[in-house]
Amino acid sequence: MFNQFSLMFTNQSNKMKQTGAAKRSSYLYVLYVVIIVLLLFLLGCYLYNEKQRIGQFQGFKTDNLPEEHISPLQQSKEEKDKKIDLVALKVCDVFTGKWVLDEVTHPLYKEDECEFLSEWVACTRNGRPDSKYQKWRWQPRDCSLPRFDAKLLLEKLRGKKLMFIGDSIHYNQWQSMVCMVQSTISSGTKTLSHTAQMSIFNTEEYNTTISFYWAPFLVESNADPPDKRDGKREPIIMPRSISKHGKNWKDADFLVFNTYTWWTRHSKIKVLRQGSFTNETKESNEVGIYIMYEEVLRTWTNWLEQNIDPNRTSVFFSSMSPTHVRSSDWDVNGRATRKCEKETEPILNMSKPVDVGTNRRLREIAVNVTKSTTKVHVTFLNVTTMSEFRKDAHTSFYGSRSGSLLTPVQKLDPRTFADCYHWCLPGLPDTWNELLSLYIINKS
Ligand SMILES: *[C@@H]1O[C@H](CO)[C@@H](O)[C@H](O)[C@H]1NC(C)=O
Ligand SMILES: *[C@@H]1O[C@H](CO)[C@@H](O)[C@H](O)[C@H]1NC(C)=O
Ligand SMILES: *[C@@H]1O[C@H](CO)[C@@H](O)[C@H](O)[C@H]1NC(C)=O
Ligand SMILES: *[C@@H]1O[C@H](CO)[C@@H](O)[C@H](O)[C@H]1NC(C)=O
Ligand SMILES: *[C@@H]1O[C@H](CO)[C@@H](O)[C@H](O)[C@H]1NC(C)=O
Ligand SMILES: *[C@@H]1O[C@H](CO)[C@@H](O)[C@H](O)[C@H]1NC(C)=O
């Protein structure tokens, strides 16, 4: 195109003074030049914006960036890997921001492209009619997130182990992580396996494992295998017993913990100080959840301090995953007749703080205890508030339990059957993982 044009120009410039046709083509030439200048200008604007975006995330004044940072296309892997991004993570609170609809970049994967997604949270496959809930991007107030890059994340996880430890919410997040990275791995080199206590995603190509370890209270409890499926039993915990679980965590490079939902059932929890669960009832006593939550988290941080090499392993704690079980929490006209089953949009009115009944005191205890470690730093993934806005993102009627979907009759009884605890995938947990990935990618 360009060559043709310049050829045309040399041929015609000779005759320019002689013919009217030549005059017209010289106007044409001017027009071409104007168009090209315009295009260059627009390209410049685009690159400048990209530069702003990258600069913002790195927490730099963009003017100080060397030229090679201007274009994302020119940005080499090494530059993206720069340790300096850690500074940005400290400067910019990525957990404070808002949800914006972004159909270009989200969802990060398609439900039916992830062979590892279990039916449990595959809402579209299970008949959920709306899909807007998949298309929200988290926009921090003071910086912008880089676009999620599965290859880069896997490169950082090469030869390493990432482990999620906790309850079914964390299983939800682990599934999300597997789906986020799996499409970039060649088929035949990735496997999923399950044991009673663990689910393990393994890729030969990167020699990486991304696993989930079931321990809803972190310490030993009667909710551990083989009893875990018996959800009706009242939980009993052994608040000082963690090493039986902990020995399975020691060789991970990234440990991501959570524990919350199981604590919120009652104001007291049964505690077993010694013996075993086979003989529990006589010897257990009930203690207030706040006292026990703190004791358990202290057992956990003590274990970390004694068993984790901070030079090798990064430790994270995910804050509470909220529920949406009373429509009156977000709908001023609503009496508390509904749960989350009719919700198709996040709470977008940010003018007053959201209160959907998250237990703030448990959160405060978790913040305090995770801050109190000395040798091992625990990064607090503060995802609660951003998730509180997401009344639209739960599985509600479209999760499957023990392999079966809700019947039409059950759907008439949302009080009993709508699941406003877990989250559809693709969906909200993908954002939690985008944020977690920032920390993993930026680790020195
Ligand atoms: C978590 O984020 C929320 C929302 O921005 C903020 O209000 C809260 O102070 C943060 N908590 C911690 C412990 O950082
Ligand atoms: C895979 O990673 C492990 C550490 O997780 C390492 O010990 C092992 O040598 C690696 N194997 C290969 C083939 O690179
Ligand atoms: C249960 O506990 C009691 C009292 O400590 C003990 O005598 C009994 O042998 C235990 N039973 C089992 C099955 O462990
Ligand atoms: C971690 O590395 C630093 C610097 O190399 C070293 O001084 C420190 O002793 C190491 N800590 C542990 C627990 O190995
Ligand atoms: C947002 O909430 C505030 C306080 O409840 C209310 O006064 C305002 O009208 C709401 N705005 C919109 C756009 O709904
Ligand atoms: C958390 O720590 C702060 C400051 O030390 C203290 O005032 C607060 O009472 C603690 N909160 C809980 C729930 O322990």
Nearest CA to ligand 2 atom 9: 159
Answer yes or no: do 157 and 31 share one domain. no
Nearest CA to ligand 5 atom 6: 351
Can you read off the two tokens belonging to residue 135? 């298309």
Q: pTM for this one? A: 0.81
Answer yes or no: do 364 and 276 share one domain. yes
Q: What is the pLDDT of residue 52?
A: 39
Most confident of 79-83, 118-122, 251-255: 251-255
Answer yes or no: do 28 and 133 share one domain. no
Residue 364 has pLDDT above 70, yes or no: yes
**Can you tell me the mean pLDDT for 124-130?**
94
90 lines ligand 5 (CB under 6 A): no
Burial of 155 (0-12, 13-18, 19+ CB in 10 A): middle
pLDDT band at 24 (very low <50, low <70, confident <90, very high): low
444 lines ligand 4 (CB under 6 A): no
Residue 10 has pLDDT above 50, yes or no: no
Answer yes or no: do 65 and 131 share one domain. no
Can you read off the two tokens belonging to residue 245? 């679980």
Answer yes or no: do 195 and 157 share one domain. yes
Share of the chain above pLDDT 70, in %: 77
Answer yes or no: do 106 and 64 share one domain. no
Q: Catalytic residue numbers? A: 168, 419, 422
**Can you tell me the mean pLDDT for 104-124?**
93
Does residue 301 belong to any structural domain of this protein?
yes
Which residues, judged by CB distance below 6 Å to any ligand atom, belong to the binding site of ligand 6? 361, 364-365, 368
Does residue 33 belong to any structural domain of this protein?
yes
CA 263–ligand 3 middle distance (angstroms): 28
CA 385–ligand 5 middle distance (angstroms): 18
Q: What is the pLDDT of residue 327?
A: 82
Answer yes or no: do 297 and 158 share one domain. yes
Q: What is the pLDDT of residue 439?
A: 94
Nearest CA to ligand 6 atom 12: 365
Note the ligand closest to the C-alpha atom of 281: 3
Task: For residue 31, give its domain range.
Answer: 2-69
Answer yes or no: do 286 and 179 share one domain. yes
Does residue 74 belong to any structural domain of this protein?
no
Say how many domains are in the chain: 2
251 lines ligand 2 (CB under 6 A): no
At 237-262, the pLDDT tens digits run: 999 999 999 999 999 999 999 999 99
Does residue 326 belong to any structural domain of this protein?
yes
pLDDT band at 184 (very low <50, low <70, confident <90, very high): very high
**Can you tell me the mean pLDDT for 227-232?**
62
Does residue 281 belong to any structural domain of this protein?
yes
Which of 50, 69, 88 terminates a domain? The answer is 69
Does residue 114 belong to any structural domain of this protein?
yes
Answer yes or no: do 427 and 310 share one domain. yes
Does residue 287 belong to any structural domain of this protein?
yes
Q: What is the pLDDT of residue 337?
A: 73
Q: What is the pLDDT of residue 369?
A: 97
Answer yes or no: do 306 and 381 share one domain. yes
Nearest CA to ligand 5 atom 3: 351
194 lines ligand 5 (CB under 6 A): no
Does residue 213 belong to any structural domain of this protein?
yes
404 lines ligand 5 (CB under 6 A): no
Which of 88-92, 192-196, 277-281, 414-418 bottoms out in mean pLDDT, i.e. has the lowest? 277-281
Answer yes or no: do 150 and 46 share one domain. no
Q: What is the pLDDT of residue 34?
A: 67
